[in-house]
């Protein structure tokens, strides 16, 4: 990708900041439920 | 009535009651929730000098005069009235003639002296070449978003 | 009308298996749509005539703001169903929506601030739209906190459902705030009647992003509902079967490695 692309017409911190925060939130929503399921299954298995 | 029907009525009553309370609340507080006044409000109703308030409108095309340093003067208009504005400070990137802005400051001898200017852009997005072929390309924005506070309050 | 499918879906083990089959497809579809939406928004879409490249924040801001409202309605409706029909599945859906909705409300606020600074000239202003969206975040956090404060799951669900329903008044306020009041925030682009407020090549990635975000939320809520069901139904036969299956998978994996 060209330097112009990364500079976003001078708005790089705002555009990339927004997409960065968004990536974190999307990933958290995709991954967190799976991790919690593993934790629940483990704790329930210990209770058995 | 079965228990379930009673609960259904209770939930429906709760929602209806809240909606009613909200309607009354907002009719009473509508004026306080307004973010800015418009030039019409200021021109038609006398505002105390030195009362800090926000003024929103479109920068009249052809009215912008740049003075020394960061000093600028322009007139701000809604759909009906306009008002001269003076400002000394950094303008947002979107500031230009025809643009919607919201200025914070006070009235002084018929001029609104601002100490902060924010840009209010509209909800239209298009590439530059398409903008050129449309009427809006000459920088004309709709004055509709600038609603008179006094008239809304009734 | 035949309601057996509804009652079957409402039973925890059936719903669990239904979610287990549906969720992966939602996840894949969301991933593909979002990949196109972000590539389209960052690379394919032309810069705006006024806002230049700063307008690209719209591709993360608008989907987040849209689901922040939709998920609240889902949460409140699930809460009402839970209150009226005492349906366990509805209680689980309600509490599953809260963290997902809260995260996207926070995202809408954060991206809005990052958009507001370069365009308006301020990160934050107390206008009607921004204030009511902040109230929405507090309502989500209230539901999450209230749920955590109760020992008994049934009592927790009842309290949360009431709070969710009471907070429902805020939803139309967020949506119509820009029309009812003078605000710094602009009006709605995609729900505007009449001529399109956004050109087609800018709109396509936006619609893909909206759909992808809704699908990702559906995925996250299904998975979280499954988790709640496992906890609420622990000790029952179907949960034991799930535990046995999970243990079997893990042992199988251990042998391979």
pLDDT given for residue C159 in this prediction:
96
Q: What is the mean pLDDT of residues C69-78?
A: 98
Mark whether B23 and B45 lie in a shared domain.
no
CB B43 within 8 A of CB B81: yes
CATH number at residue C38: 1.20.120
Distances (CA, A) of C243 to B36, B129, C231: 59, 61, 12
pLDDT given for residue C253 in this prediction:
55
Q: What is the pLDDT of residues B85-108, one digit of tens each?
A: 999 999 999 998 888 999 999 998
Mark whether B43 and B119 lie in a shared domain.
yes
pLDDT given for residue C192 in this prediction:
67
Binary contact (A37, C226; C-beta < 8 A): yes
CATH number at residue B66: 2.40.50.140
pLDDT given for residue A42 in this prediction:
92
Pick the range with the lowest mean pLDDT from B89-98, C195-204, C228-237, C240-249: C195-204
Closest CB from C52, C60, C217 relative to A9: C52
**Residue C70 domain-assigned?**
yes
Confidence check: pLDDT of C5 > 60: yes
pLDDT classification of C225: cutoffs 50, 70, 90: very high
**Residue C9 domain-assigned?**
no
Confidence check: pLDDT of C201 > 80: yes
**Residue C248 domain-assigned?**
no
Mark whether B80 and B133 lie in a shared domain.
yes
**Residue C246 domain-assigned?**
no
CA distance C15 to C13: 5
Residues of chain B with pLDDT under 50: 135-139, 154
- Continuous H helices in B2-126: 3-33, 39-44
CA distance B30 to B48: 21
CA distance C247 to C253: 10
Q: In angstroms, what separates the C-alpha of A46 from chain C's closest C-alpha?
A: 10
Q: Which domain holds residue B112?
A: 39-153
**Residue C24 domain-assigned?**
yes
Q: How many domains does chain B have?
A: 2
Q: What angle do CA B116, B118, B120 make, to 5 degrees?
A: 155
Q: What is the mean pLDDT of residues A2-13?
A: 91
Region of C60 on the Ramachandran plot (φ > 0 left; ψ -120 to 50 alpha; else beta): alpha
CB C36 within 8 A of CB C205: yes
Mark whether B8 and B62 lie in a shared domain.
no
- Helices then strands, counting H and E runs in chain A, come out as 2, 0
> Which residues of A are less than 8 Å from C118 in CB distance?
11, 14
pLDDT given for residue B137 in this prediction:
43
Phi, psi of B46 (to 5 degrees): -65, 130
Q: What is the mean pLDDT of residues C79-88?
A: 93
Using the Cβ of B121 and the Cβ atoms of chain C, whether some distance falls under 8 Å is answered with: yes
pLDDT given for residue C257 in this prediction:
38
Q: Considering only alpha carbons, which residue of chain A is nearest residue C108?
A: A22
pLDDT given for residue B154 in this prediction:
45
- The ipTM assigned to this model is 0.94
Mark whether B51 and B22 lie in a shared domain.
no
pLDDT given for residue C10 in this prediction:
84
Using the Cβ of B20 and the Cβ atoms of chain C, whether some distance falls under 8 Å is answered with: no
pLDDT given for residue C254 in this prediction:
52
- Continuous H helices in chain C: 4-10, 12-39, 58-85, 88-119, 128-149, 153-166, 170-180, 200-232, 237-256
Confidence check: pLDDT of C200 > 90: no
Q: Considering only alpha carbons, which residue of chain A is nearest residue C106?
A: A25
pLDDT given for residue C236 in this prediction:
94
Pick the range with the lowest mean pLDDT from B36-40, B143-147, C191-195, C230-234: C191-195
Pick the range with the lowest mean pLDDT from B109-113, C6-10, C121-125: C6-10
Mark whether B136 and B98 lie in a shared domain.
yes
> Which residues, numbered 5 to 44 in chain C, qualify as contacts with chain B under a Cβ-Cβ cut-off of 8 Å?
none
Q: How many domains does chain C have?
A: 1
Mark whether B112 and B145 lie in a shared domain.
yes
Best of C40, C51, C53, C239 to substitute, by most chain A Cβ atoms within 10 angstroms, is: C53
Mark whether B27 and B45 lie in a shared domain.
no
Q: What is the pLDDT of residues C31-68, one digit of tens each?
A: 999 999 999 999 999 999 889 999 999 999 999 999 99
Domain boundaries, chain A: 11-47
Pick the range with the lowest mean pLDDT from B1-10, C113-122, C183-192, C214-223: C183-192
Q: Which domain holds residue C219?
A: 17-240
Q: In angstroms, what separates the C-alpha of B19 from chain C's closest C-alpha?
A: 6
**Residue C159 domain-assigned?**
yes
- C121 closest CA partner among B127, B58, B125, B103: B103
Size of interface B-C (CB pairs under 8 A): 123
Subunits with 3+ C-beta pairs closer than 8 A to B: C
- Count Cα neighbours of B57 within 13 Å in the Cβ-side half-sphere: 27
pLDDT classification of C193: cutoffs 50, 70, 90: low
pLDDT given for residue C111 in this prediction:
98
């Amino acid at each position: 990708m060209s330097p112009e692309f990364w500079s976003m017409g001078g708005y790089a911190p705002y555009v990339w900041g927004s997409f960065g925060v968004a990536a974190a939130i999307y990933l958290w929503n995709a991954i967190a439920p799976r991790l919690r399921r593993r934790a629940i299954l483990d704790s329930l298995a210990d209770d058995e | 009535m079965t228990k379930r029907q009673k609960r259904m009525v209770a939930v429906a009553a709760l929602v209806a009651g809240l909606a009613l309370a909200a309607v009354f609340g907002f009719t009473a507080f509508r004026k306080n929730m307004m973010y800015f006044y418009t030039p019409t409000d200021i021109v038609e109703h006398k505002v105390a000098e030195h009362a800090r308030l926000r003024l929103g409108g479109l920068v009249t095309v052809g009215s912008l005069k740049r003075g020394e340093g960061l000093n600028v003067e322009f007139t701000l208009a809604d759909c009906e009235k306009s008002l001269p504005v003076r400002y000394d400070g950094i303008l947002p990137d979107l500031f230009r003639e025809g643009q919607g802005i919201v200025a914070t400051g006070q009235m002084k001898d018929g001029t609104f002296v601002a100490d902060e200017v924010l840009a209010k852009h509209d909800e239209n997005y298009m590439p530059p070449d398409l903008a050129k072929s449309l009427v809006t390309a000459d920088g004309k924005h709709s004055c509709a978003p600038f609603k008179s506070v006094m008239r809304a309050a009734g | 009308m035949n309601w057996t499918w509804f009652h079957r879906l409402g039973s925890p083990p059936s719903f669990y298996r239904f979610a287990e089959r549906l969720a992966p497809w939602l996840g894949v579809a969301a991933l593909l749509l979002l990949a196109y939406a972000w590539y389209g928004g960052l690379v394919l879409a032309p810069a705006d005539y006024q806002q230049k490249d700063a307008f690209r924040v719209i591709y993360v801001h608008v989907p987040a703001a849209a689901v922040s409202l939709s998920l609240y309605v889902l949460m409140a409706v699930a809460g009402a169903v839970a209150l009226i029909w005492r349906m366990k599945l509805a209680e689980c859906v309600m509490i599953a929506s809260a963290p997902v909705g809260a995260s996207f409300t926070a995202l809408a606020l954060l991206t809005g601030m990052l958009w507001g600074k370069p365009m308006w000239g301020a990160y934050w202003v107390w206008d009607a739209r921004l204030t009511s969206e902040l109230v929405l975040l507090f309502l989500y956090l209230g539901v999450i906190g209230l749920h955590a404060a109760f020992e008994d799951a049934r009592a927790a669900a009842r309290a949360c459902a009431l709070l969710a329903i009471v907070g429902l008044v805020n939803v139309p306020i967020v949506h119509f705030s820009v029309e009812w009041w003078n605000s710094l925030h602009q009006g709605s682009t995609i729900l505007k009647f009449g001529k399109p407020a956004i050109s087609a090549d800018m709109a396509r990635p936006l619609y893909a992003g909206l759909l992808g975000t809704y699908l990702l939320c559906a995925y996250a809520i299904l998975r979280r509902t499954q988790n709640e069901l496992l906890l609420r139904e622990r000790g029952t036969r179907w949960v034991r079967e799930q535990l046995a299956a999970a243990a079997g998978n893990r042992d199988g994996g251990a042998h391979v490695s």
